[in-house]
Amino acid sequence: MPDFSAWSTLDLSTAQIIGYLGTVSAMLWPVFHGRVALLLAQLVPSLFFMVHFWLLGGVTGAALNLLAVLQGVAAIPLGTRPNFRVAYLLILPVIAGLMAMTWNGWPSLFAALAMTLVSVARYQTGVLRFRLFMALALPCWFTHSVLLGSVPGMLADVVGMTVNLWMLARSGAFANRRLSPESGASP
């Protein structure tokens, strides 16, 4: 059962302070524009949340955040070296393995689902598709944070979801596009 005691008062334990550092750094990645900048900006919060989740007993979340750091670095060449894509995809079975080795019920499942979606996001070479998959991944991380009682995780995820959706809207991702008769598709 998650411990929601941190909700009633500001918990300034080491775990929470590290988590809040992760929250602050996580608020920054969605405002970056280029793919490589987005990937690099995600490394810092992953390191903070790796330690934060470990201290809260969320071993799967901690392990997957460590993997996220390695994966973020490994995803950078995908934009310039298409042959590297196969090597990158080998990370996906590692997510399943880490989930199995650190299984702790629902938190493990949501952490693994989130990390799988983050992996697919980072696999994309276009920023729009990257952001769309992150829009699916962040609610899974939020659920993981709720289950662990991680207020910093929830804050980071809510801000990340909000700013990411705002950046998607700014890019025109939600614009009402009519299908042309020439396309052969009907609205």
pLDDT surpasses 50 at 186: no
Nearest to 61 by CA among 146, 135, 127: 146
Domain that holds residue 76: 12-170
Whether residue 187 lies inside any domain: the answer is no
**Based on the structure, what is the number of domains in the chain?**
1
Mean pLDDT of the chain: 87
Whether residue 59 lies inside any domain: the answer is yes
pLDDT surpasses 90 at 38: no
Whether residue 182 lies inside any domain: the answer is no
Whether residue 38 lies inside any domain: the answer is yes
Whether residue 185 lies inside any domain: the answer is no
Maximum average pLDDT range among 29-38, 65-74, 119-128, 135-144: 135-144
Whether residue 112 lies inside any domain: the answer is yes
Specify the range with the lowest mean pLDDT, choosing from 29-33, 69-73, 155-159.
29-33
pLDDT surpasses 90 at 156: yes
pTM recorded for the entire structure? 0.80
- The residue among 89 and 141 whose pLDDT is bigger is 141
Q: What is the pLDDT of residue 183?
A: 44
- The residue among 179 and 130 whose pLDDT is bigger is 130
Q: What are phi and psi of 161, to 5 degrees?
A: -60, -45
Q: What is the pLDDT of residue 111?
A: 94
Buried b / exposed e along 81-103 (16+ C-beta atoms within 10 A):
eeeeeeebeebeebbeebbeebe
Confidence of residue 90 (pLDDT cuts 50, 70, 90): confident
Whether residue 183 lies inside any domain: the answer is no
pLDDT surpasses 80 at 176: no
2, 106 in Cβ contact below 8 A? Answer: no
